[in-house]
Each structure stands twice: as structure tokens, then as C-alpha cells.
Structure 1
Amino acid sequence: MTYETFVASLGAAEPPTGISLVLQGLWYAGRQQWEQAHTLAQVTDRDQRHNWLHAYLHRQEGDAANAAYWYRRAGRSAFAGSLADEWEQLVRAQPEIRR
């Protein structure tokens, strides 16, 4: 799947089938459905991709301290750009997204 295909899927009623939980979380985040995205981010704290998603969501929520904790768990510095830019980087970093 390409980034453009993923973005276009945001208009569908459900996320694309067969995608990872992180990409599902990003799909819900892209539709401003924070609770559904957060539920998926919480599935595990042992995966850096989940932790980055979790950090992004708390940043989106405006909870900088909680976001900072999850950025550390993800092995990343806090993102300095816009939420839209971070969302795009997160999506593009997923293995299912072709470059």
C-alpha cells in the first residue's frame, strides 16, 4: 500500500483489512478518532512503533509530559514539527507502506 492509498482510505467506513495495529491506530488518528487510536496504541508497550504512536496521541491530546514518556519508550526525541507532519512520518515509517 502506498501513503496516498492509505490517506485515501480515511474516507472509508473501516480501516483497510490486513494492516498492522499501529497502522490501524494511525488510521483512526487520521480520522480524529482518538479513543479508538489510543486503545490500539495500548495493546503493547514492548514495540517502539506502538510507543511512538502512543507518544503522538498524547501530544495530539496536549499532554506533553505523557507524550515525553512515550517518546523515551520509543527511543525517540519529542517531535518538534506539526502534528500533521508527525502523522505522515509515522505512516510512512510503517513496513506496509511502500516507498
Structure 2
Amino acid sequence: MKTLAEFKASLTSTQPASGLPPQLKALWYDGKGDWNQAHAQVDHLTDRSSAWVHAYLHRKEGDIWNADYWYRQARQTRPDVSLDEEWEQLVVEFLED
């Protein structure tokens, strides 16, 4: 899977593609509307990439204080874009890694 379009198309599947890193797996579950499963993918991880996804998930949840904590851990700033735009930006970022 190399493009945002391919990633979005994979959301019709019942399971994420094998071999996805936890950050993309979290975004896949979030794209399917399963916030809890998305959160479970990154909640226990401490790397900056996981913190960035974790921040997005808490922003989506409406827990801005917690989101801002995770944005700081990721060395990112809370973006001034829609949640859908941030989700797409994250997917593209991690597909390029």
C-alpha cells in the first residue's frame, strides 16, 4: 500500500493489511470508526510517531488537554485543520516512511 487512495480503499476490508506499522493500523481502525481499537494500537507506545497519532485520537475524542500533551510528546503542534484533513495528512506521512 503506497497511496492515500489505496489506504482508503482498504477500509472496505474487515481487517487491516498485514504488516502495517501500529501508527497506520491505528489510523485504519479510526477510518473504520473504531476509536477504541485505534487507541489500543498506540496507547502503550512511546515513540514520537505513535504519540502523534495518539494526539490526533484524543483531539478527535474532544480531550484537547490530553491531545496537546501528546502533540508535545510528538514534537508537533495541534493543527488548525479539520480532523479529516489531519487524518489524511497522518496517513500520507506514515505511508511515506
Residues matched between the structures, number: 95
Q: TM-score, normalised by structure 2?
A: 0.94
Q: What amino acid maps onto 1:63 in structure 2?
A: D
* Unmatched tracts of structure 2, length 5 or more: none
Pairs within 5 Å for 1:25-44: 25-44=26-45
CA distance, structure 2, for counterparts of residue 22 and residue 43 of structure 1: 12
* Unmatched tracts of structure 1, length 5 or more: none
Residue of structure 1 in register with 2:72 after alignment: 72
Over the matched positions of the two proteins, sequence identity in percent amounts to 45
DSSP 3-state at the match of 2:8: helix
Q: TM-score, normalised by structure 1?
A: 0.92
Poorly superposed stretches of 4+, deviation over 2 Å: none
1:43 is displaced (CA, Å) by 2.8
CA distance, structure 2, for counterparts of residue 32 and residue 59 of structure 1: 15
- Give deviations 1:2-50, integer Å, cap 9, x for gaps: 21111000011000111101100000011110000001111311x1110
Pairs within 5 Å for 1:53-64: 53-64=53-64
Give the root-mean-square deviation of aligned CA atoms: 0.9
CA distance, structure 1, for counterparts of residue 4 and residue 85 of structure 2: 13
Q: Select the structure that is richer in helix.
A: 2
